Chains A and B, each alone.
Chain A
Amino acid sequence: MADAFAAYPDLRHPFEERPIHGSGHTTVLYQGKTICLTETGTGDGLLIRPSDLQQVNGFELKPEGACFEAMCIPLNDQLLVQQDGQEWFNLTAFADLLEQPYVADVDSRVWSFAEIPAKRSNLLADGLAPDFEVTDRNGNVVCLADLKGKKALIVTWSSW
């Protein structure tokens, strides 16, 4: 077999075990990005600072609700929560409302969110390419908008 089909058992333990984030911090995963939050609320669900929402999932808080492009989700007291005089955005309640699945390892304070189904409706119905964002090996961010006016072949591969 060629090297490309070889195993990489040495990569099974690439590093010494180390913490994912600093003490008291929380990590959110979404669309391949890792976001560290230094402050979250307590209790059930994941309560984040409203000012962190946009960096977490691109939604912006506006008078009409939490908005992403043409989509606006009206806010209510399930989403905006008061706790000890501080306002929090309930990210897990928001995900439930959008039917966005997630998997959490609460002990480690890590929440991993799947894609929001509504964001894929154009792909499934009309064959329009989904938005994506990846960083190339030169550190450049590549997204769907960069391909406008060009033909693109996007191909996946792996050494395995």
Chain B
Amino acid sequence: MPVWQHIYEELNDPDFVLISAAQDTGGEAVAGPIFDATNPTYIQVVDENHVISSAFNFVNVPSAAWIDEEGRIVRIDESTYATTHQFGEGEAAFVFGNDIYAPALKDWVKNGANSQYVQSTDKVTGNIRQFTDEQLRADAAFRLANLFRAHGQEGKAEQYWKLAQSLNPDSVNFIRQDMTLTPEGSGGESFFKLVGEFASRGKEMSRPLDLEG
């Protein structure tokens, strides 16, 4: 998170907008302090209802889109880390992210359409996930669940979260936000079982970064 702020400050370009959307069902109470710890000056959104992910058909976090001055998407839906992260040390270390996305982003902000990292319309539209009627219904069910949860009606929240998950089993977003609210959390045994299930279905949990590095 602080890394995005560093990148934003380094670019220091009034014609570059960074919108960071936190998809925490816990809302401002959870996402707010994480934002605040980095003193961000870019646009921060707490997107409990996954409005951004729904609009761009993202299924996991972190995901991103680059939008040019004309409103055209020039990169979309790839695992989007500002840097390499590591939790723990030695054999227990958990490493994720990469150091090649941020330089590509900076190159695009500086060079625009001439950047080698801009993708063609065909490439972009090929990377946009198509949606089915069931996936759209899943969005509706998810938001219904969130409304019930916000009003302390856990039974109905769970009913509609489960409906969303069954209608769109490719959405890691819908499954993990629900895990977050269990004692086990979103990084426990259930999560690793989920990873295995995706692998056995031959599905990726998010599209790998399409950059050389």
Contact = CB atoms under 8 A, between A and B. Distances in A.
Chain B's interface: helix, strand, loop or mixed, by majority? mixed
A120 B26 CA distance: 29
Contact of B19 (A7, A148, A152): A152
Interface residues of B, number: 95
Contact of B47 (A27, A103, A134): A134
Contacts, number: 261
A102 B141 CA distance: 8
A127 B19 contact: no
B45 A136 contact: yes
A127 B124 contact: yes
Nearest to A100: B136
Given A11-B181, A110-B144, A134-B52, A155 B64 contact: yes
Given A124-B130, A136-B44, A160 B177 contact: yes
Contact of A142 (B43, B124, B125): B43
Nearest to A155: B64
A90 B69 CA distance: 39
Interface of B: 1, 4, 13, 15-26, 28-32, 34-35, 43-47, 49-56, 58, 61-69, 71-73, 76, 80, 87-88, 94, 105, 108-109, 112, 121, 124-125, 128, 130-131, 133, 136-137, 139-141, 143-144, 147-154, 156, 160, 163, 173, 176-177, 179-188
Nearest 8 A-B pairs (CB), nearest first?
A: A7-B185, A160-B186, A114-B136, A32-B51, A17-B152, A112-B144, A101-B137, A127-B124
